[in-house]
Amino acid sequence: MRLTKKQEAASGRLLIDGAENRIFWSDNGRVAKFIMGRLSAPSGDDPETIARAFIADNRELFDLAAEVAERLEVSSIERDSQGHAHVCLAQFIRDVPVHEGSVQVHINREGVVTAYKDNRLAEAEVDFQPRFSEVNAVHAAMADIGEEQGEKQQSRLCLYRHTDKKVHLAWQVEIVVQHEHGARYYFIDAHDGAILYRFSESRAIMARKTYTAKNQQTLPGTLVIQDEQTSTDAVVQAAHDNAREVYDYYRRTFDRDSYDNQGSPLVATVHFGQSYNNAYWNSYRKQMVYGDGDGRQWLPLAYALDIVGHEFTHAVTSCTARFVYAEQSGALDEAFADFFGVMIANDGEIVDWQMGEGVYTPYRSGDALRDLSDPARFDLPDHMDSFMHLRPDELPDAEKNDLGWLHYNCGIPCKAAYLTVAGGTHHGITVEGIGRDKAEQIYFLGLTEYMRSSTLSRWTFEQARFAALNACRQLYGDQGSEYAAIKNAWAAVGVGEPAARFAVITREVNPALTIPDNRPQGISSAIQIEEQGILRELTVVVMINHSYIHDLRVRLVSPGGEEAVLHDRSGGEEDDIIEEYRLDNCPELVKFVGDTVQGEWQLLVADHARLDQGILAGWGLTMAVEKLAQQSLARELRPELPIPDNSPQGVVSAIPVAEAGTILHVDVTVDISHAWVGDLQLILTDPAGREMVLHDRSGASRRDLKKTYSSRTDEVLRPLIGAEQQGEWRLQLIDLAGEDTGILHGWKMEILYS
């Protein structure tokens, strides 16, 4: 990343103004993507004026290309329950809106800018004259939909950032498909007509209006009741009552007046379609839709308060974060809806983390649609290790890949939300839960303000994590248990780094070592871990090219000498080992959990039969490590002991250590005068009786031995890592030849321990 001189000067001024101010840059250094701290002086001006003044005062941070004619238009200004203002602006270049070109300015009650998020384009090297017409773009979208009846709602030019990071002039086309009752969005290249991206907004709400579709697929249908009226139709009444419950929750908990915070009526239609197994929020018509279910897979969905809360939350997200309903963004939309659906359905402490269990598969006991506490229970991932990606050339598709596997991948942020509330240890990282009250406020503020967008946006898991951290910083600060819980919860599912107590260590090597044929001694490759800590989770990736893997035995050896067999002459006639070994699929690895990680890890590969050969192409380790609270001690003696000449008994000096603790690192320093150090042998004995020869008659006629031996550099001391330090340490100095004498002036031990 290279900054211009103007950017360096501007960032320097901002950082000097506040010791806690921090700037996070885009990969190419053109944009200050996020800034946090106390970024401006207090002001009594209105939020828009403060926001525009901050952007103008710091314009040199944003390396806008000279030819870019930019305009920023306010899309929303919100005040939260703490009195903080959140200003969202949309970028236009040459009057063309930039898709996902949002700027957020967050202002506290004193009128001080505390956070700034920038997703603008710094340059737009694109021909602004469309060569593919709007009419043709609509036809291309209609053709992609196929035989289903579609109706264009609107279309407009925009600047669209594609997955290759190239900027395209594109037609954004919105089409409503008759039997979906929700908009499909297309981004069509305005130069060559290529479909750049597509997704659907149909998702699988205190004035209340509840309609019936009379089992037809018409919206909104016939009005049955409104406000405080009642109905003898149990499904109508359930939808109406649950809408009130959900409205009251958002009003009571967050002081939010309806889904848009503008008091809009909650409109719902029940009895939609024949045996319709779905419920969804229709952003275009701004209403909820409930099917009756088929009686086998689903009962009427309006009966379930958590599902009503889930769909109402989709309405909230459609007015705030504006998730693109595909890939990670769509998975986040589902996860936020699940989280608040669970919060709404539980009073006080959360006792039920399931979604839809009251109406899903009524004849199967204990079943549910999802379980936030245990996504794997219903075959969903709970860590990024199991995240399902689209192929590089694949577009989201509702039929072929669930719009980028959004309902599958939502298990990952769902698990992070559960851990934030309830805590627990997951993938080796321990989370101290903060309870529902604080978690609700953090997630709501993060969603509605720190993820607010002026356009539909492809939010990522990493950005959702960052939004939660910023919301936490506003509400509870960034030094407490709440901030650590957010970091650790997301790190536990493989997103971001954990708080200071934990670390994720990743190392890999590519030795390209030939594996000798039919040689049990085999080969070894080493990875050195310098960090200290206790292993809580381990993944080993092995890449071996071999023509007959049944010949192979693969073992992992820890710094302490423990051994785990990863592959033991299995696999028959298969070629190659390209495998990821984890605690869940390789129980042998469990023996390393709880050990210290520092030191040399070895992978041993041996071929045990003739004819076939191969290569160890590469291997790697990913470790979740619990950092240890470290303390240090130093003990020194100056005994001035004469060293008997040519005496096997020698002299002994002892240092007692009263403190109990596990050794992380040890240094032993000696100060010895002697005329011929080649006569000397120096032995350290630890409290367990283990002898370590530090010096063994090397050095010939060199005089004196003044040296520090370290567990970091001297292999002989490595076994002490992880050992108990309490007890008596003995240093024995022996002269094993005649004529020369000397003195042990002193020695010192320095131990880092937990």
- Name the catalytic one among 139, 162, 191, 407: 407
Residue with tokens 């990024």: 384
Pair of tokens at residue 460: 């990522």
Distance of alpha carbon 309 from the chain centroid: 26
CB within 8 Å of 542: residues ≥ 6 apart? 554, 566, 567, 577, 578, 579, 581, 603, 619
Distance CA 215, CA 362 (A): 21
* Backbone CA torsion sign across 161, 166, 168, 174: negative
Residue 394: active-site member? no
Q: For residue 524, which of 557, 564, 570, 571 has the smallest C-alpha distance?
A: 557
Pair of tokens at residue 244: 């009130």
Total Cβ atoms within 10 A of residue 336: 28
Rounded to 5 degrees, φ, ψ at 449 are -120, -45
Distance CA 30, CA 62 (A): 6
Q: Where are the beta strands (DSSP E) in 227-286?
A: 266-272, 279-282
* Backbone CA torsion sign across 52, 53, 56, 62: negative
Total residues found in the chain within this entry: 754
Give the orientation angle of helix 411-422 with respect to helix 481-492, to 10 degrees: 150
Distance CA 25, CA 35 (A): 9
Mapped onto helix, strand or coil, the DSSP state of residue 401 is: coil
CB within 8 Å of 143: residues ≥ 6 apart? none
Long-range Cβ pairs for the range 697-700 (8 Å, 24+): 697/736, 700/676
Q: Determine contact, residues 599/529, Cβ cutoff 8 Å.
A: yes
Cα angle at 411 between 407 and 412, to 5 degrees? Answer: 125
Distance CA 420, CA 432 (A): 8
For residue 520, give the amino acid letter: P
For residue 581, give the amino acid letter: Y
Residue 311: active-site member? yes
Helices and strands in the chain, H and E counts: 11, 37
DSSP bridge partners of 708: 669
Residue with tokens 């989770």: 537
- Name the catalytic one among 100, 311, 334, 626: 311
Distance CA 688, CA 321 (A): 60
**DSSP-assigned letter for residue 551:** G
Q: For residue 110, which of 17, 20, 39 has the smallest C-alpha distance?
A: 39
Mapped onto helix, strand or coil, the DSSP state of residue 108 is: coil
Rounded to 5 degrees, φ, ψ at 23 are -120, 130
Q: Determine contact, residues 480/571, Cβ cutoff 8 Å.
A: no
For 121, counting Cβ atoms within 10 Å of its Cβ (0-12 exposed, 13-18 middle, 19+ buried), the class is buried
Total Cβ atoms within 10 A of residue 395: 18
Q: Determine contact, residues 380/411, Cβ cutoff 8 Å.
A: yes
* Backbone CA torsion sign across 177, 183, 187, 188: positive
Q: Where are the beta strands (DSSP E) in 496-607?
A: 502-509, 513-515, 519-529, 534-546, 552-557, 563-568, 577-582, 599-607
Q: For residue 294, which of 320, 274, 281, 275 has the smallest C-alpha distance?
A: 275
Catalytic residues: 311, 407
